[in-house]
Structure formats: structure tokens, C-alpha cells
Structure 1
Amino acid sequence: MGSTPAAGPVAGARYVVDPTHTFVMYEMGHYGTSTNRGRFGTRSGEVRVAADGTQARVEIQFEVASVNTGVDLLNRHLQSKDFFDVANHSTARFVAEAVRIADGRIATLDGQLTLLGRTHPVAIRVLRFNCYTSPLHGRQVCGGDFEGEIQRSLWGMDWGLQFGFEDRVRLLTQLEAVLIGNPPAR
């Protein structure tokens, strides 16, 4: 059973981020030899499309404490004060206030990332975007793959910079959001 293609995001609609299909992954150079990778689970999020359908607001909160690299010892170190300090900052938040929509597709997704109590701008590239009608629940789903890059030191994560852990971190986000309620009348 395949999915049915759907037009772009519905003007004036609200979408709720599906935490089972939304993840933030990171990649960071490790001693100049390999790449350290990890993944965070999503706590919540929503997309609100403007009445004219040309802009949207996106907000996603993800669980920093859920960081998973596949190595328990490394997960615990990342949760410590050296990196994410999850005892004091268990979630991170990305907000994009003016997401541009053109021809039913997301054109830009730049926003603000709040992590460790600090907020800085992040430019996000849209790698893939599509909307479809889910065969599982008959609702429109919009989503895609997105990528950005940050300097972790801007958020106060300096550990390891002096001996081989890179400051540059690549962020890869897989996001899907489900249309909630009936679409607004056109």
C-alpha cells in the first residue's frame, strides 16, 4: 500500500511533529581521524502555516538527555557538564519564525537554537521536502531532511577543543509533521 502525494503545506494549518519520525543527529570530527556521531530524540514540536501559505513558524524541542552514540560510556560523558549538562539543561529548542514556503515547498529554514541556556542563529539547508497523505491514518504529513552546522563553543561546549575534538558540528535533522484537525476552508 503506497502513500498518496499531496500538495504542499496547507495554508492556515497546524501540524504536530511526529516524534517517531523526527530526530536530530550530530557529526563531529574526532582527533582528525574519524567522525563521532550521535542522535537525540524529539520531545515535541509544531509547524504553523500562515493564512496565505507563504510562511510558517517551526518549533522543535528535543531531549538532550536522550543522546545516543551507541557507546554507553560516551553517552554518559556527553550528558555531563563537559558537554550537554543534562542535569541543568535536559532539552534544547529550535525555533524558526519566518520559514519561507514557495511552490508548496520549504525554501528556507533558518532559526535560533537554544542549548545550554544560550541562543544563537543557525542556518539550515533543506535537502529534501515533501508532503503526502499517509495510508496509515489518512492525514497529510509534511517533512524532509535538513542540515546545518554550528560551532559548539558558542554554546559553551569547549571540552576537547585543545586536544582533537572539533568545534564544528554538523546537524542532520529528519522531520515529519502531521496535519492536525480539518484543513481550513479555502
Structure 2
Amino acid sequence: MRKSLTLLAAAATLSTGAFAADYAIDPTHTFASFEIGHFGASVNRGRFDKKEGKISFDKAAKTGSVDVSFDVASVNTGTPNFDKHLQSAEILSAEKFPKARFVSTKFQFSGDKVSAVDGNLTLLGKTQPVTLKANQFACYESPMLKREVCGGDFETTIDRTAFGVNYGVDWGFPKNVRLVVQVEGVKQ
């Protein structure tokens, strides 16, 4: 009897198309960028160029998972001396903590579209919960790759001091850092 129920459940899942698909991160369309105020006069911006990870997504069941890491030493502000300072032990300590990592815990949906992804961000060995709000999200058939691609543009604001990034707070640099994550994954 148990075997029959298991087979029925499997058949029902297959007939509705409800199963997760794996997506490979497209490195040319996936970046984590940051913005932080600079003495109230301007905004410093940068991004992490090297990344790796995996995505699983089930549109029908409205579930998914993300596990993505960014190489801290790949920080790129367009100013090499600033990049080195960000990599230093004073700020991101890239030598001691070479990866920043986001692991999802839950996908949120608005209708059929992902509206946010809850998860945990690890930076400098400290892990904090974050919610990445989707500014846009879509899946499409790529005319170049001849495969389905899903992706979106997400953002959140973190308190950097919760991760131990305290540099410049005493001088008036803000604690809050805006993170913008663009990601696209190619269905495998």
C-alpha cells in the first residue's frame, strides 16, 4: 500500500511538472554590488567580480534554493588603491575571510514571480539573516543559449557593523550599506 501511494505521488508530481530544476549561474550576468555614503558628499560603489554557486528553482511548487559565494579579493571599485584598502584587515579582511556567501532559506512569491529571497549572509566569518527584495524577476527562453534562463535584480540594506566592518564609523561613515545583486541562471 505504501509503495502504491509513493508511486501515485510521484506520478502526480510528474504530471503537474512540479519538480525543481538546477540552474548554473551565468557569470556574465551575475554580480553583487555595494553602495555606501562617503562623508555625505558622494557614494562609494563597487562590486565583486568572481563568483560561484548553484540555484535550484521550482516554479510550480514556488520553492527554490540559492547558494552563492563571492571572492572578496575580487572587489572592484575602479580604483586599485581603494580595492586594496577594502581587501585589507581594516575592512573586509580578504586574506582571512576570502569568501562572502549567501544561502537562501525561503523564496517569497507574488503571484508567479519571485518577490524576495530570505537567507543568511556570511561576511568576515559572521552570519546574519537578510532578505533580498526582487526589483524584477523573470524566466525566458534565451535566443542565444536555446535554454531557459531565470534571473532578477535584488536589493537589501545591511548594517555592516553586525558583521564586524566598523572602519570609519567613528568618523561618520554610515553603518548601512546597500547591496544590489543581479543574478541569472541557465537551466541545466
Scaled by the length of structure 2, what TM-score is found?
Answer: 0.86
Specify the SS of the correspondent of 1:21: coil
| Superposition deviation, residue 98 in structure 1 | 1.5
User: 1:88 and 2:96 equivalent?
Assistant: yes
In structure 1, list runs of 5 or more residues that go unmatched: 1-9, 181-186
Tell me the equivalent position of 2:10: none
Paired residues of 2:159 and 2:175 also in contact (CA < 8 A): yes
Tell me the equivalent position of 2:138: 130
From 128, 131, 135, give the equivalent of 1:120. Answer: 128
The alignment yields a C-alpha RMSD, in angstroms, of 1.6
Paired residues of 1:53 and 1:101 also in contact (CA < 8 A): no
Whole-Å Cα distance in 1 between the matches of residues 148 and 111 of structure 2?
17
Same amino acid, percent of matched pairs: 42
Tell me the equivalent position of 2:39: 31
Specify the SS of the correspondent of 2:86: helix
Whole-Å Cα distance in 1 between the matches of residues 60 and 181 of structure 2?
26
Q: 2:157 corresponds to which letter in structure 1? A: E
Tell me the equivalent position of 1:49: 57
Specify the SS of the correspondent of 1:98: strand
Paired residues of 1:150 and 1:169 also in contact (CA < 8 A): yes
Count of aligned positions: 171
Q: 1:164 corresponds to which letter in structure 2? A: G
Whole-Å Cα distance in 2 between the matches of residues 136 and 52 of structure 1?
25
| Superposition deviation, residue 67 in structure 1 | 0.6
Scaled by the length of structure 1, what TM-score is found?
Answer: 0.87
Specify the SS of the correspondent of 1:77: helix
Q: Deviation per CA, 1:34-85, whole angstroms, max 9, x where unpaired?
A: 1010111242121112495211111111111111111111110000011110
Specify the SS of the correspondent of 1:87: coil
Structure of greater relative contact order (alpha carbons < 8 Å, 6+ residues apart): 1
Whole-Å Cα distance in 2 between the matches of residues 176 and 64 of structure 1?
20
User: 1:107 and 2:115 equivalent?
Assistant: yes
In structure 2, list runs of 5 or more residues that go unmatched: 1-17
Tell me the equivalent position of 1:75: 83
From 146, 151, 154, give the equivalent of 2:162. Answer: 154
Paired residues of 1:24 and 1:42 also in contact (CA < 8 A): no
Greater CA radius of gyration, 1 or 2? Answer: 2
Paired residues of 2:59 and 2:112 also in contact (CA < 8 A): no
Whole-Å Cα distance in 2 between the matches of residues 108 and 39 of structure 1?
21
- Which one has a larger percent helix, Structure 1 or Structure 2? 2
Whole-Å Cα distance in 1 between the matches of residues 110 and 37 of structure 2?
35
The correspondence of residues 59-70 of structure 1 with structure 2, limited to 5 A, is 59-70=67-78
Whole-Å Cα distance in 2 between the matches of residues 16 and 40 of structure 1?
18
| Superposition deviation, residue 156 in structure 1 | 0.5
